């Protein structure tokens, strides 16, 4: 029982990581792919923060009456990673926007599909 | 869990909202794991800025994902194999929360004991981030600046200059001009 409890966090991390991985490789939509990448990223953050936790410890801010602190170093690196992750996400989304402008779609499967593009363009012109 | 719903929902707007919920939940989890600073950042950045970015993209792109038939069995197979291998690997990891874990006995105690005498900042995370690793944090700011520049370069091309005759599905609205400005602000936030 104690084994299950002590490894539960790691298994949650693996589950989240695999959900994100599946989202990246199985979904054609680029926004969805980026969300999958973010899921994957968050699971790594949780893994790092888990490694810094000490049972009975507290947030690493010095104050009276607290003896045990959790390890602050994983928190620092995760903080950096979150911010860099958002920068990467924004570049990815900007690329998706450009692809949408140039090809009229952000679905992987439709990018090489000229007929589809022409049909969509035709629909748009008819609408105007 | 919420993560599964994100993958399954076809409506990208709903997916973006679910992603905000997911970020908030993980921020709560970080709080439980004693990482207050990380939780604050995750709540602000994950639930806030990421959601705004996704919504800005959805204003330009189509809202609904193209339906694909059924599951992608090959992908599922790969994912399950990888997950099984990783779960097997977790059995070698140290027990959760034990004070004698390798991560806790190496340099961690040094920072816990020395950061206040060295820096005079009670918050150890801030002391390490802004003082011990200040050069690294400056590099991080450069990364964000570079990302902002990249987004600006990608989106600043006026749409009229494109040579192809393909018209975007929806006319480009004012939100297009908002996004690079949004990027530019980010170095100030951190």
pLDDT at residue B102 above 60? Answer: yes
Q: What is the mean pLDDT of chain A?
A: 76
What whole-number distance in Å separates Cα of residue A124 and Cα of residue A127?
A: 5
Write out chain A residues lying below 8 Å of B103, CB-based: 51-52, 71, 73-74
User: What's the pLDDT at B153?
Assistant: 85
Distance from CA of A37 to the nearest CA of B (A): 11
CA dist B129 and A72 (Å) reads: 10
pLDDT, one tens digit per residue, over B125-159 is: 777 777 777 788 888 888 888 888 888 888 877 66
* A10 vs B86: CA distance, rounded Å: 9
Looking at chain B, which residue has its C-alpha nearest residue A16?
A: B3
List the single residue in B4, B19, B93 with the smallest CB-CB distance to A35. B19
Query: B150 and A22: CB-CB below 8 Å?
Result: no
Query: φ, ψ for residue B62 (rounded to 5)?
Result: -75, 145
Residue range(s) defining the domain that contains residue A33? 2-54+69-127
**Between B23 and B8, residue with greater pLDDT:** B23
Rounded percentage of chain A residues whose pLDDT exceeds 90: 0
Interface contacts A/B by beta carbons within 8 Å: 280
Beta-carbon separation of A69 and B112 below 8 A? yes
In angstroms, the separation between the Cα of residue A117 and the nearest Cα of chain B is 7
When pLDDT is averaged across residues B82-90 and rounded to a whole number, the result is 81
Q: What is the pLDDT of residue A125?
A: 63
Which tokens go with B18? 């679910």
Residues of chain A positioned with their CB less than 8 A from the CB of B45: 82-83, 86
A106: in domain: yes
Write down the domain spans for chain B: 1-70
Q: Write out the DSSP string of B104-130.
A: HHSSHHHHHHHHHHHH--SBHHHHIII
Q: Which two tokens stand for residue B5?
A: 């719903």
The backbone torsions φ and ψ at residue B92, rounded to the nearest 5 degrees and listed phi first, read -85, -10
- Give domain status of residue A59, yes or no: no
In a 3-state reduction of DSSP, which class is residue B22?
Answer: helix
Looking at residue A100, its pLDDT comes to 78
Checking if the pLDDT of A42 tops 80, the result is yes
Question: How would residue A126 be classed by pLDDT, with cut points 50, 70 and 90?
Answer: low
B136 contacts in A (CB within 8 Å)? 80
Token pair, residue A34, equals 């980026």
What's the CATH code of the domain at A31? 1.10.287.3510
Lowest mean pLDDT among B7-11, B26-30, B154-158: B7-11
The answer to whether residue A64 sits within a structural domain is no
> With the C-alpha atoms ordered B78, B83, B84, B86, is the resulting torsion angle positive or negative?
positive
Percent of chain B with pLDDT over 90: 0
User: At B178, is the pLDDT very low, low, confident or very high (cuts 50, 70, 90)?
Assistant: very low
Which residues, listed in sequence order, are joined to residue A58 by a DSSP beta bridge? Answer: A69
Inter-chain residue contact B90 with A117, CB threshold 8 Å:
no
All residues of chain A having their beta carbon less than 8 Å from the beta carbon of residue B164 are 102
Question: Rg (Cα) of chain B, in Å, rounded?
Answer: 22
What is the C-alpha to C-alpha distance for residues A105 and A102, in angstroms, rounded to an integer?
8
Of A97-101, B21-25, B35-39, B109-113, the range with the lowest mean pLDDT is B109-113
Q: What is the pLDDT of residue B6?
A: 57
- Asked if the model's pLDDT at residue B52 lies above 70, the reply is yes
Is the model's pLDDT at A59 over the cut of 80? Answer: no
For residues A4 and B37, the model is more confident at B37
Q: Name the residue among B108, B116, B151 with its Cβ closest to that of A71.
A: B108
- Tell me the average pLDDT of chain B: 70
What ipTM is given for this predicted complex? 0.70
pLDDT over threshold 50, residue A86: yes
- Indicate yes or no: CB of B155 within 8 angstroms of CB of A97: yes
B182 pLDDT more than 50: no
Residue A120 with chain B: CB contacts under 8 Å = 166, 169
CA distance B100 to chain A (A): 9
Angstroms from A48 CA to nearest CA on chain B: 10
Cβ within 8 Å, pair B35-A90: no
CB contact under 8 A, B34 and A58: yes
CB A89, CB A34: distance < 8 Å: yes
Q: Which residues, 6 or more positions from B84, have their beta carbon under 8 angstroms from its beta carbon?
A: none
């Amino acid at each position: 029982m104690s084994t299950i409890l002590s490894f539960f966090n790691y298994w949650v991390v693996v589950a989240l990581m695999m959900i994100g991985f599946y989202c990246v490789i199985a979904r054609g939509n680029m926004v969805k792919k980026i969300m999958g990448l973010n899921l994957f990223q968050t699971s790594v953050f949780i893994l790092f923060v888990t490694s810094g936790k000490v049972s009975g410890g507290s947030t690493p801010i010095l104050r009276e009456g607290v003896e045990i602190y959790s390890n602050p170093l994983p928190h620092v690196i995760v903080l950096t990673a979150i911010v860099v992750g958002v920068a990467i996400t924004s570049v990815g989304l900007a690329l998706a926007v450009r692809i949408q402008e140039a090809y009229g779609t952000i679905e992987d499967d439709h990018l090489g599909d000229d007929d589809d593009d022409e049909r969509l363009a035709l629909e748009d012109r008819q609408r105007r | 869990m919420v993560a599964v719903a994100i993958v399954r929902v076809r409506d990208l707007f709903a997916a973006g909202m679910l992603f905000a919920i997911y970020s908030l939940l993980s921020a709560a989890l970080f709080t439980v794991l004693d990482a207050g600073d990380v939780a604050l950042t995750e709540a602000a950045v994950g639930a806030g800025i990421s959601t705004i970015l996704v919504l800005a993209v959805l204003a330009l792109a189509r809202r609904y994902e193209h339906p694909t038939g059924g599951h992608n069995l090959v992908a599922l197979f790969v994912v399950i194999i990888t997950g099984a291998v990783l779960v097997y690997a977790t059995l070698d990891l140290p027990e959760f929360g034990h004070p004698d874990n390798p991560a806790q006995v190496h340099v961690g105690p040094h920072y816990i004991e020395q950061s206040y005498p060295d820096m005079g900042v009670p918050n150890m995370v801030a002391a390490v981030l802004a003082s011990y690793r200040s050069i690294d944090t400056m590099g991080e700011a450069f990364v964000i600046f570079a990302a902002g520049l990249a987004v600006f370069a990608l989106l600043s091309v006026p749409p009229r200059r494109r040579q192809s005759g393909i018209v975007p599905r929806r006319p480009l609205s004012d939100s297009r001009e908002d996004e690079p400005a949004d990027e530019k602000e980010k170095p100030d936030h951190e």
